[in-house]
Amino acid sequence: MVLDTGSELSWLHCQKTPATPLYYDPLHSTSYTPVPCNSPICMTQTRDFTIPASCDPKKLCHATLSYADATSVDGNLASDIFRFTDSNLPGVIFGCMDMDSSSNENEDSLTTGLIGMNRGSLSFVTQMGYPKFSYCITGQDSTGVLLFGEFNLTWPRPLSYTPMVKMSTPLPYFDRGVMDLCYRVERSRVGLPVLPSVSMMFRGSEMIVSGQKLLFKVAGMTRGSDDIHCFTFANSDLLGIEAYVIGHHHQQDMWMEFDLANNRVGFAEVRCDSASQKLGIDL
């Protein structure tokens, strides 16, 4: 699953295709319930979607979600039981998506769907009522640790907190992002130039992005005998709206805590592989 703190609706691929071998089949679920288009959920709780929900020929609530990297998915809203280790959670609303347009089919084929983690009414954390969630993304392959709820962790160094800002206008949905500054690098070259670190200043805190995180190699993309490396900062003008997004490249090996109850975000540098070992999680 893709974790997206900028998106509201969680969704699953509901049709098996060569590009989506991992999928959820609603025909095998006795508790799967599609959302009708005249329901309050469809009529009022989808108001923050960038594309308004509509009514399909079966009078079911239809949603189209688009992302800044030109990816989009189409399907119906539905509810089902979400099962965790120690509990069953009935009536969770999600998108059952059967059509998609992808800008990176190789990457998307490795995922079953997306978990929407923003503060919208249909996001996963809002529906679950969690007051807090935390995660840590490794610096190797974007795997990591995700914790829901309150945990008394003593091993990360004290977190630096900055207040969340309430948005008056919904931002567009984001996924991998739009990279607009890329370089050709000879495949035979050993190492990249040493880049300076970048400090991002927030109210009450500072996040330092090391120079190693400022360029990344684009998997599967080459030009002749050169690999392609892109700058991990991009121009938000390409999104059509002024926005500041901290992507996963800058959050690697950083413990991130979203304290929703106290309306703040905390972070601290940490080795995520070490954090997973302390939690007894094998990455």
Burial annotation 139-178 (CB, 10 A radius, 16+ → b, else e): beeeebbebeeeeeeeebeebebbeeeeeeeebebbbbbb
Alpha helices (runs of H) in 143-256, residue ranges in sequence order: 248-251
Q: What is the pLDDT tens value at each position of the chain, 283 positions in all?
A: 888 888 899 999 998 877 777 789 999 999 999 999 999 999 999 988 888 899 999 999 999 998 766 678 899 999 999 987 778 889 999 999 987 776 566 666 778 899 999 888 999 999 999 899 999 988 766 678 899 988 877 766 789 999 987 766 555 444 444 567 888 999 888 888 889 999 999 998 999 999 888 888 887 788 998 999 888 887 766 556 666 778 888 888 899 999 999 999 999 998 888 877 778 776 5
Only one residue has tokens 């009522």, namely 129
Q: In this structure, which amino acid lies at residue 155?
A: W
Per-residue model confidence (pLDDT) at position 69: 66
Residue among 10, 212, 183, 153 at smallest CA distance from 93: 10
- CATH of 2-129, picked from 3.30.1330.10, 1.10.10.60, 3.40.50.300, 2.40.70.10, is 2.40.70.10
pTM of the model: 0.81
In angstroms, rounded to a whole number, what is the distance separating the alpha carbons of residues 274 and 203? 29
Domain 144-278 has CATH 3.30.70.360: no
Question: In a 10 Å sphere around its CB, with 0-12 CB exposed, 13-18 middle and 19+ buried, how is residue 281 labelled?
Answer: middle
Only one residue has tokens 């060569």, namely 18
Per-residue model confidence (pLDDT) at position 80: 96
Q: Which residues pair with 162 in a beta bridge?
A: 265
Q: Other CB atoms closer than 10 Å to residue 242's CB: what's the count?
A: 8
97: CB partners within 8 A, 6+ apart: 11, 12, 13, 14, 65, 73, 74, 75, 113
Per-residue model confidence (pLDDT) at position 180: 72
In angstroms, rounded to a whole number, what is the distance separating the alpha carbons of residues 18 and 13? 12
User: Residue 276: helix, strand or coil by DSSP?
Assistant: helix
What residue segments make up the domains of the chain, in order of their start?
A: 2-129, 144-278
Residue 55, Cα to own-chain centre: how many angstroms?
27
Per-residue model confidence (pLDDT) at position 174: 47
Do the domains 144-278 and 2-129 match in fold? yes
Element (H, E) at 95: strand 88-101
